[in-house]
Amino acid sequence: MSAVDSPLDIQTIQENQKEDTELLARKDKHSDYYFEKKIGEFPIICYSKDSAEQKTKWRIALPKICSDLLSNGFILSQEILVTKSYN
């Protein structure tokens, strides 16, 4: 990610989600909660606590690099969930 990219840019999130092996493993293991949703032209991994409400109550599952950047000084929007390991 370049210094001018925002960690909350949807394309940056998508690119980093593809490289986040932990997030991809959670998506595979917990497919009832992690799913892809098209945002603009980008398929984005999202999370919902209730699989029955995936269409209305979901959050973007941030890849680790984005959540690390956010925790190191960026302000986290209330609309985005930083996911942790759900083993």
**Phi/psi-derived region of residue 40, left when phi > 0, alpha when psi is between -120 and 50, beta in every other case:** left
Whole-model pTM: value is: 0.71
- The one-digit pLDDT tens for each residue of the chain (87 residues) are 443 456 578 898 899 999 999 999 999 999 999 999 999 999 999 999 988 888 889 999 988 877 766 665 554 443 444 444 443
Q: What is the pLDDT of residue 86?
A: 40
User: How far is 64 from 71, CA to CA, in rounded Å?
Assistant: 10
Q: What is the pLDDT of residue 43?
A: 96
